């Protein structure tokens, strides 16, 4: 059974940074991609970025391009999301999800990844 563990969230001041991690277990090989999403209270889920573990390909939503950076470590089966220049609108629960490819349809819709992690809370506040 595939399991995804998101971690690294916390409380950060505006302008600060955080690095989120998504660890994947129960899956063999590198033919998969990890997407990062977030959901703020009272708002719809928003796709942020994805990373292909197979070829290192990436995609970013316009809303985070230039502020967030996604990367991966095959040896650790872990994908990271570096969050920079955070502001209060970035406050949300951040989720990672596993799919077979990193594609705009995964982040922007309508494709829904098959496996989801439990989420990690990011709070940006002074």
Q: What's the pLDDT at 52?
A: 97
3-class secondary structure, 117:
coil
pLDDT at 119: 95
Q: Which residues pair with 65 in a beta bridge?
A: 68
pLDDT of residue 65: 94
pLDDT digits (tens, 9 = 90+) for 7-35: 999 999 999 999 999 999 988 888 999 99
| Confidence (pLDDT) at 45 | 96
pLDDT of residue 118: 92
- Render the burial of 30-42: b for 16+ CB within 10 Å, e for the rest: eebbbbbbbeeee
* H/E segment holding residue 105: helix 104-108
Give the model's pLDDT for residue 83: 98
Return the closest-CA partner of residue 40 out of 62, 24, 71, 63.
63
pLDDT of amino acid 28: 83
Q: What is the pLDDT of residue 114?
A: 84
Beta strands, E only, 26-102: 33-39, 46-52, 58-60, 68-73, 78-83, 92-99
Per-residue pLDDT of the chain (126 residues; tens, 9 = 90+): 899 999 999 999 999 999 999 999 988 888 999 999 999 999 999 999 999 999 999 999 999 999 999 999 999 999 999 999 999 999 999 999 999 999 999 999 888 998 999 999 999 999
Task: Identify the pLDDT of residue 102.
Answer: 96
């Amino acid at each position: 059974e595939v399991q995804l563990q998101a971690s690294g969230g916390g409380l950060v001041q505006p302008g600060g940074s955080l690095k989120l991690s998504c660890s994947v277990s129960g899956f063999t090989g590198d033919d998969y991609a990890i997407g990062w999403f977030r959901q703020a209270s009272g708002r719809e889920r928003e796709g942020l970025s994805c990373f292909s573990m197979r070829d290192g390909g990436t995609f970013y939503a316009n809303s985070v391009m230039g502020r967030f950076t996604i990367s991966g470590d095959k040896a650790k089966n872990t994908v990271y999301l570096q969050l920079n220049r955070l502001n209060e609108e970035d406050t949300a629960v951040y989720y990672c999800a596993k799919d077979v490819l990193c594609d705009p349809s995964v982040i922007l819709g309508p494709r829904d990844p098959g496996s989801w992690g439990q989420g990690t809370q990011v709070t940006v506040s002074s």
